[in-house]
Amino acid sequence: MQDLAFVLAGFFVGSIVGLTGVGGGSLMTPILIFFFGVKPYMAVGTDLLFAAFTKMGGTVKLARSRHIDWPVVLNLSAGSIPAALITLYVLHQLGATSTTVQHIMTTTLGFALLLTAAATLYKAIRGKSGPTNIAAGHEAAATRPRHWSLPLLFGALIGTLVTLTSVGAGAIGVTVLMLLYPLLPLPRIVAADIAYAVPLTLVAGMGHASLGSVDWPMLAKLLAGSLPGIWLGSHLMFKTPERVIRSLLSLLLAYAGLKLIAL
C-alpha cells in the first residue's frame, strides 16, 4: 500500500510541476517528511534526483516544441552549478546526518517554503499581466537580462538554496526569471525554469548520493508516478488557468514552511 502511495505522490507532484513549474522540492520534500516520516537529509537528497528526472521528461517535451530559450538556461546555470558544488563540499565536511546540519536543513527549508509561497502568490497575482508573445525581431532582446551579472548572482543564490533544501528552482526561479527577463512570455519563462532545474538538481542530487542521502527504491516509485504526471501537466500548461491553483498552492507551501520552522 505504501508503494502505491509513493507512486500517487509522484504523479501528483509531477502534474503540478508540468502545469506550473512549481512543486519539485517545495511539495515533494514536505510530503516525504510529514506524510512518510522520511528523515530531512534523506528527503532532500532523494527529492533532488526526483526533481532532476521529473523535469528532464518535461524538458524533452518542451525542447521538441521549441519553447525553451537556451541562453536564459545557460546564464542561470553559470551561477548555480558552481554554487551547488561549493555547498556540497561544505556538506561533505560537516556531515549530512549531523544534528546541526539537520537543524539547518529543516529551518532553511521552512524559510525557503515561505519564500516560495510568496513567490507563487506573486506570480498568481501578476502573472497574467506579462507579455503573451515575443514581437518579431525582438527575440534577442527578450533573452537578454536587465544586467549580465544578475543571472549569475541569483543563480548562485538559488543553487545554494536548492542544494541545501531541494527547494528554490520552481516558484523562486520562475519569479527571478520574470524580474530579469520582463519581455519573455510566461509559458517560455516556465519552460526555461524547468530546463534550468535539470542540471542543477542532477549535480546536487548526485552530490547527495555520494553522501548516502538518497533512497533509491523510494526514488524509483516516485518517478513511476511523476513521469506520466509531468507529461500530462506540461500538455495542460497552455490550456489551464493557473491563478486559483497557484493561490491555493501558496497557502499550502506557507503552512508546510511554518511547520518545518517549528520542528
Model pLDDT, residue 86: 95
Q: How far apart are the first and last CA of the chain?
A: 28
Model pLDDT, residue 217: 94
Q: What is the pLDDT along the chain (263 residues), one digit of tens a residue?
A: 788 999 999 898 888 777 766 666 678 888 898 889 898 889 999 999 988 887 787 788 788 888 888 999 999 999 999 999 999 999 888 887 777 887 888 888 888 888 878 877 776 776 555 555 665 555 666 777 888 889 999 999 999 989 988 887 777 788 888 888 888 887 888 888 888 889 999 999 999 999 899 999 999 999 999 888 877 876 776 666 666 666 767 777 787 778 777 76
Residue 139's contacts (CB-CB under 8 Å, 6 or more residues apart) are none
Cβ pair 186, 177 in contact under 8 A: no
Q: How many CA within 13 A on the CB side of residue 123?
A: 32
Amino acid at position 183, single letter: L
Residue 238's contacts (CB-CB under 8 Å, 6 or more residues apart) are 187
**From its phi and psi, is residue 168 left (phi > 0), alpha (psi between -120 and 50) or beta?**
left
Cα R_g (the chain), whole angstroms: 17
The CA-based dihedral angle spanning residues 147, 151, 115, 28, taken in that order and rounded to the nearest 10 degrees: 160
**What pLDDT, in 10s, does the model give residues 93-122?**
888 777 788 788 888 888 888 887 887 777
Burial 194-233 (b: 16+ CB within 10 A, else e): bbbbbbbbbbbbebbbeeebbbeebbebbbbbbbbbbbeb
**Separation between Cα atoms, residue 46 and residue 3, nearest integer Å:** 15
**Separation between Cα atoms, residue 57 and residue 235, nearest integer Å:** 12
* Residue 247 CB coordination number (10 Å): 14
Q: How many CA within 13 A on the CB side of residue 200?
A: 38
C-alpha cell at 184: 519573455
Model pLDDT, residue 14: 80
Model pLDDT, residue 230: 76
